[in-house]
Structure 1
Amino acid sequence: MGTSLPLRLLFILHFTFFIIHSSVAQSLSPDARVSLVTVGPGQELYSSFGHSVLWISDPATGIDKAYNYGTFNFHTENFYIKFMRGTLPYQLSTGPLMPQVYYWQTENRSVKQQLLNMTPAQKDRLYQFLEHNFLPENREYQYKFFYDNCSSRLQDAIIAACGDSLYYPGYTHDTLSFRQWIDRYAYTQKPWADFGMDLAIGAPSDEIATPMQATFLPNNLSAAYDDSRVLINGQTLPLVASTIDLFTAAPVQVDDTWLTPKVFFWALAALVLLFTLWQIKYNKLNFLFDKILFTIVGLTGWLIVLLWFGTDHGVTAWNYDILWAFPLWFPFIFSLSKTNKPAWFQFALIGYTVLLLLATGNLLKHNYVVIPILVTLIIRVYYMNNSLSKIPQKKTA
């Protein structure tokens, strides 16, 4: 999610419109306006989940600041290492709204403004809260995609500004897990990216997002604002006074690719079955394909290990895909030969069969892809076990 602009362009944009301010922010005039601006999903992976900013506009004082919690500094030491490990600090930045709206428009991304009902005192508290967060010593934070991001921080800001006068239920329209929320945005338009994200994230992603947690997605945050109420001068009013469509995206033709992960892996399973039957029928004893296949499986497992133990993303731990993407397949698969069958191969066959039964008993979308993968692995492990069991093993003295 994060920001909607390409990373370098975004950094340049916010640097250009960076506003130098004192440690104590000026007060807003009574005519200041506060808006939540929600940007629709884009075509690129980095923009697939949309974006949110809080915009404070006060013509009387010349203030025009869109507060964006989705930026980071390219000059951070060890930038790429920290980015991959999930330890790259994100930061709050500010800049005039309209130059950003123009860019989102070139990306054909809808932009919606929700003007908020707030008292002058509430607006000023929000402004002071955001300006305090913008101080050099405060603007960086540890970004967490599900739990602390550019959208959820705007939820915290409005709650801090309005206090007990705000009724804020969060997002209550759907009850889904974090993984299911990702699927809703990525599965249809970007099935391979969705498969990769499913493969990378672990058990924490299968927890049901609470109404407050579900606002990690900008569209959900926008809906939560719509459902909120605020007490103003003894009256309970909607938090959102009005909604303005700053730009409406033109309809986009979604690439209806037929080669989805599900199609690819089922086709692979079918081809592997035919190839295995051919090997058995004509007694073609060769394990080159298995060494390639299980090297890929093992390397996938090592990647899962790296994401689990070597990163701080918070949602890549306890990834049970490691049970089929067993890391030690690489390098142990190379101990296999026409005269040597490792003793643990039979346990691999049993283990994969159990996993297949568990997967078919819990048909979540992710498992639709896991099933043909397991079928493929079972076919080849069975072939290796069956073929080598017919070959006399070397006797030891």
Structure 2
Amino acid sequence: MTNFIHTFKQQMLCIICCFSFLYTQSQPSYLTEQAEISVLTCGTGDEMYTLFGHTALRVKDFNQNLDVVYNWGMFDFRTPNFYSKFVKGNLLYYLDVSSFSDFLNSYTLDNRQVIEQELRLSYNEKMAIWNNINSQLKGPKRYYTYGFIKNNCTTKVVDVINNAIQKPLNANFPANNHSYRFILNEGLNAHYFEKLGINLLFGYPTNQQNKLIFLPVKLQDALQFNQEIVQKEKILYAKKIEQKGISLNSVYTLWVIVLLIALFALKHTAQKIYFLATAAFSLFFLAISLYSQHEELFLNMWIFFYNPLFFLALQFRNIKMLFIAIALTVIGLIFMGIELLQVAAPLITLHLVYIVALFLRMRKILPKLKVTNV
């Protein structure tokens, strides 16, 4: 049954993509006074790329038999070297248009909530938005380089709206007044290991104070905060709550794993394996931060926290190297930020346990070496 649904979704996507070309070519050159423009906020899904939801613009003009959705979140899995381009930061996303019914059916099929906020706009503002999005759709601006925070489906909609209205949306409101990392973490409590992975990859820049409206739910909140721009709000599809059993995608699962690994902390072989693994993680994060153009991946504190000097100190029994490694770990801890410390507490605790165990081993080894030398 799951395979059937997956195949059906793929077929629906192909149909929508095929017909999007027809929509692109058949757009009217103007809107009537009765036209409506709405922001659509779509809920989260189970796939990794759906964990933050989605934002799109709906344009409805029944006088011209027009009801379409503009969507800046399109990408092509068939792009050569898709994953390397995504990590590098030069993967092209693009704007597309589809019928509203196809769009809504797609999210209904995925059981993802869809909320509509109709905007209160003058006719000139509607036309400014209409001309802007159709200019993008038919020109080179249709394609853009995706950015996790600064250039995504939500920021594109925010830009289109702000370029048309006299008073831009205010990004400084209580629900948005946090760090980038805090906002990213907010909606991921039910997906702990995905949240952990994101926090491991994202570097120091995400600890900074947020100045943008970059997530779908935050644009929804922004419109509610700037109430004068919202004509009305309604739920187009309400997610059906499915009862689920006990989930292993939890911080408690990681704590159990950490406790099991910590039991072997005093074993020499376990220390070698552990510090070799953490050294590999440190070098991996270093390679990613140097390779990627995504600003969010720069200055990854795990490079310092999991630095390879621990493994080298163990191998060469060098106490001075151990102290340098500990100093780098402390620097990493200081600049991680409270949100990252909270999410990665099990991993941090495990690392500190192994550092203490290594220190005790080194303190036992050194006196023996001194006696031998005499």
TM-score normalised per structure 2 = 0.85
Distance 1:88 1:276, change over 3 A: closer
Q: Hey, what's the Cα distance between the residues in 1 that align with 2:270 and 2:355?
A: 14
- The change in CA–CA distance for 1:252 and 1:390 in structure 2 (over 3 A counts) is farther
Which residue identity lines up with residue 350 of structure 2 in the other structure? I
- Does structure 1 residue 323 correspond to structure 2 residue 313? no
Aligned to 2:119: 116
Aligned to 1:294: 275
Higher deviation after alignment, 261-270 or 109-118: 261-270
Query: One-letter code of the match for 1:219?
Result: V
Greater Cα radius of gyration, structure 1 or 2: 1
Residue 74 (structure 2) pairs with residue 71 (structure 1): yes
Judge conservation of contact 1:53–1:67 (CA < 8 Å) in 2.
Answer: yes
Which residue is 1:341 aligned to?
317
Structure 1 range deviating more: 113-122 or 304-313: 113-122
Q: Distance in 2 between matches of 1:360 and 1:155?
A: 30
In 2, Cα distance between equivalents of 1:354 and 1:226: 42
Letter in 1 for 2:61: D
Distance 1:243 1:296, change over 3 A: same
Tell me: CA distance 1:342–1:130, structure 2 relative to 1, closer, same or farther (3 Å).
same
Deviation at 1:302, TM superposition (A): 1.5
| Pair 1:140–1:53, CA change in 2 (3 A) | same
Shift of the 171–161 alpha-carbon distance from structure 1 to 2, 3 Å rule, reads same
After TM superposition, give the deviation of residue 380 of structure 1 in Å.
3.5
Q: How does 1:161-240 map to 2 (within 5 A)?
A: 161-162=164-165, 164=166, 166=167, 168-170=169-171, 172-174=173-175, 175-186=177-188, 188-210=189-211, 213=212, 215-228=213-226, 238-240=228-230
Identical-residue share of aligned pairs (%): 22
Q: Which residue of 2 aligns with 1:12?
A: 14
Number of equivalenced pairs? 364
Q: Is the 8 A contact 2:258 2:347 kept in 1?
A: no
CA distance in 2, matches of 1:137, 1:156: 17
User: Quick one: which amino acid aligns to residue 214 of structure 2?
Assistant: F
3-state SS, counterpart of residue 63 of structure 2 = coil
* Alignment-mate amino acid for residue 223 of structure 1: D
Report whether the alignment pairs 1:132 with 2:135.
yes
In 2 relative to 1, CA 269–303 (structure 1 residues): closer, same or farther, beyond 3 Å?
same
CA distance in structure 2 between the partners assigned to 1:124 and 1:359 by the alignment: 47
CA contact (8 A) 2:42 2:55 kept: yes
Judging changes above 3 Å, is the alpha-carbon distance between structure 1 residues 248 and 168 closer, same or farther for their aligned structure 2 residues? Answer: same
Per-residue deviation at 1:246?
0.9
Deviation track 1:65-111 (CA, whole Å, cap 9, x = no partner) reads: 21111112344443332122221011111111211211211222111
Is the aligned partner of 1:386 residue 2:363? yes
Match of 1:365 among 342, 345, 352: 342
- The residue type equivalent to 2:219 in the other structure is L
| CA deviation vs aligned residue, 1:173-210 (integer Å, no higher than 9, x gap) | 22211111121111x20111111111110111001112
Report deviation, 1:220: 1.1
CA contact (8 A) 2:309 2:322 kept: no
Distance 2:253 2:335 in 1: 17
Matched AA of 1:145:
F
RMSD of aligned residue pairs (Cα, Å): 3.3
Deviation string, structure 1 residues 37-85 (Cα, Å, up to 9, x no partner): 1111223322111111101122222333211111123444433321222
- Report the CA distance shift for 1:198/1:222 in structure 2 as closer, same or farther (over 3 A): same
Classify the secondary structure of the residue corresponding to 1:43: coil
In structure 2, the CA distance between the partners of 1:101 and 1:360, relative to structure 1 (3 Å rule), is closer
Map 1:25-40 onto structure 2 (within 5 A): 26-40=29-43
Give the match for residue 283 of structure 1.
Answer: none
Distance between the aligned counterparts of 1:296 and 1:250, measured in 2? 42
Question: Cα offset for 1:130?
Answer: 0.3
**Quick check: 1:149–1:216 contact (8 Å CA) kept in 2?**
yes
Distance 1:328 1:70, change over 3 A: farther
Q: What one-letter code is carried by the residue in structure 2 that aligns with 1:310? A: Y
Q: Distance in 2 between matches of 1:25 and 1:360?
A: 51
Q: Deviations over 1:342-370 (max 9, x none)?
A: 45443256437746985999584135234
Q: Match for residue 327 of structure 2?
A: 351
Structure 1's 13 and 316: CA in aligned 2 closer, same or farther, altered over 3 A?
farther
Moved more, 70-79 or 104-113: 70-79
Unpaired runs of 5+ residues, structure 1, are 230-237, 280-286
